[in-house]
Structure 1
């Protein structure tokens, strides 16, 4: 498909990465985004080496690193008394896994990708343009987006890539399922540098990702380049509207956290504005591709809960693998089947790791005591080795 055309639905991390990956291989990419302007939403994210190695190959890693922090370790602490339970070293990420481990604002990553896409002659970005449907031509040789509320006849494309997120309309038009609410709510906030001062070192080290574990509750904190900290709390809750403007009261959040250190409760209160986000998953055996011309990637295909910190990484892997496979093949139908065949086992394993993390962080009683003993007995080297399959994975080697 090198030299051919690709329509990409959605200008999030998955869609923009796909545009860059296709353009790098000689395909012309057009990104359709329904919002009138591309808003960089969300709080923070973690980028593990399986993702950063791909960003390096797309030529954007240096700029990403300028807006990120490279933590030296991931630490798990008991939320009740703050004692450390385990520490996974990350300072050796480039030596062990071939690329850095970074934490940053989601908006900064999206901004870097957007700037690179706008500067690429092989990419066109159309904002304020909602794709209402994707129509195959009679021979199945191309696909044409229908533009909502418009008489415009969009051009035909060789391939359509749906990167329209966890609530993907494209997935449902293909007969796929609606997303499923997991029963967990993510409360997200950015603690600014001024407010972070009293909590530094003990609760908020400037060079670590810290998870505070407690029965039915965990809080993840990590530093941002300007001295602020990204905070995420995961607790059980009710489903709610699906947008970033759900504001939660600190008292409401503190009430869900029992038996945690007073200092942690004070951190929750001092932080100020928290945004509530219902965690949805997409688990389905429904196909990700249709007629050899339409394919889902990222959360549109396989949204997973954030407990393995792999949502952005899986979207980046999807985008690069898809571009690699389709630009090397003249048979898109078989290519899309191969893409799905390669990605499903990987996503299942990542989802299982996330479920394990959620269980391990929120377990209580005797099982928590066993967890603590096991973690204490394992060295940092052994803990790091547990992630070799995840962080050392090179999606382009899978394509080869």
Structure 2
């Protein structure tokens, strides 16, 4: 094909693998470079929302995820144990509204399903390939298109590509290369205690029954909140405790203290504190973010950033992974024939990608900070007003703005109703109409 590109994707996380699948489906030669020696992505649970699951279904990936669990209910509970919001048939309602599921799974299970599909499509996934430098003008390029990019590897090798996709996450080498300076992420002021409990660790029968139910639960309180849900068919329970950051600036992740963790939630809902007594190991993660960039594309139009390299998010709306999957899909769809026909179109195609994705990614970033504020209110007048609003709609269909964006009738459709394929079709149709 005259339009075929040699695409190198740096990073085998969720955004990189999503991009590799859609770019391969669009007819390009795709290689993924991953610095890790093995694909066992660090992390725990992951919430997949319809804006991503409709893509995973289309790609044949969702069907291969091990034990995705669709929560039947979604609840918000005050730190004192009072039920503030509750939605029954959450799974059914989501499918009815958006035509795709909301599912909880383990991050590693999703990554493995993505890798499997990418390899089926001919994508090369190369491990232990750490990128240390990019030369954006390594070659003249063909058809008077953008120049080739040369990638320098830690082991001394080099690889050339027509297009680099920087999907190398929060600590992105590609971002620093694009900016021309070493660019480190910034602390958000929060950290996460991440817990994965096997059902065998929970001895109390009542608590075990609760944990096995397919449900999403939030506990919200002063300066902190907790999200918990079952995975792998109820055999594993994922718990994330979100609290103020007290880690040294130089520490991004460390093993957490069980005593410290339990002390932070002393006096909270007894159901939660009983659950925390079952924990025998916890990891402590500093939550980081980055300022917005003027552009996600380099001056030569041969490198583009996606995912956490350009729009990392607080986990408070579970959109970091989901929006990264959107990025990969949109990029690959824009590079598909017949609308993409030659390398000379690469600059305008990447600009279209940025027009479609940058404003949305940055808006979701901002919304995560708003969710933090609404969930972390200290006791007082604002907290009482929030709780009164919650209670006004308890057991009813919510109308208008709502403190939990997970069920907010204004924010939820904006997040979950996004259809990458339709968005691309719409922007291309509009472009074709221009004289």
The answer to whether the superposition gives a TM-score over 0.5 is: yes
Q: 1:218 aligns with which of 201, 218, 225?
A: 225
Relative distance call for 1:106 and 1:242 in structure 2 (3 A) is farther
Asked if 1:385 is matched to 2:409, the reply is yes
SS at match of 1:19: helix
**Kept in 2: contact 1:161–1:297 (CA 8 A):** yes
SS at match of 2:95: helix
- Aligned pairs for 1:66-105 within 5 A: 66-80=66-80, 82-88=81-87, 89-105=90-106
CA distance in 2, matches of 1:202, 1:375: 26
Q: 1:334 aligns with which of 348, 351, 357?
A: 348
Asked if 1:283 is matched to 2:291, the reply is yes
Aligned to 1:112: 113
CA distance in 2, matches of 1:178, 1:203: 41
SS at match of 2:85: strand
**Kept in 2: contact 1:97–1:391 (CA 8 A):** yes
SS at match of 2:43: coil
Q: 1:232 aligns with which of 240, 252, 264?
A: 240
Cα RMSD after superposing both structures: 2.0
Aligned to 2:403: none
**Kept in 2: contact 1:74–1:90 (CA 8 A):** no
Aligned to 2:129: 129
Deviations along 1:92-136, whole A, 9 cap, x unmatched? 212101100000111111111112222322x11111111222222
**Kept in 1: contact 2:311–2:365 (CA 8 A):** no
SS at match of 1:210: strand
Corresponding residue pairs, total: 394
Deviations along 1:1-25, whole A, 9 cap, x unmatched? 8522100001111111111111111
**Kept in 2: contact 1:325–1:335 (CA 8 A):** yes
Relative distance call for 1:324 and 1:286 in structure 2 (3 A) is same
CA distance in 1, matches of 2:173, 2:45: 26
Alignment gaps of 5+ in structure 2: 141-145, 400-406, 426-435
Asked if 1:314 is matched to 2:323, the reply is yes
TM-score normalised per structure 2: 0.86
Aligned to 1:55: 56
Relative distance call for 1:109 and 1:2 in structure 2 (3 A) is farther
**Kept in 2: contact 1:251–1:269 (CA 8 A):** no
Mean alpha-carbon deviation: is it higher for 319-328 or for 275-284?
319-328
Mean alpha-carbon deviation: is it higher for 138-147 or for 29-38?
138-147
**Kept in 2: contact 1:35–1:129 (CA 8 A):** yes
Aligned to 1:398: 423
Asked if 1:250 is matched to 2:258, the reply is yes
Asked if 1:304 is matched to 2:313, the reply is yes
Aligned to 1:374: 389
SS at match of 1:90: helix
Aligned to 2:332: 323
Mean alpha-carbon deviation: is it higher for 311-320 or for 285-294?
285-294
Aligned to 1:260: 268
Relative distance call for 1:142 and 1:316 in structure 2 (3 A) is same
Q: 2:153 aligns with which of 147, 163, 175?
A: 147
SS at match of 2:161: coil
Mean alpha-carbon deviation: is it higher for 235-244 or for 49-58?
235-244
Relative distance call for 1:296 and 1:280 in structure 2 (3 A) is same
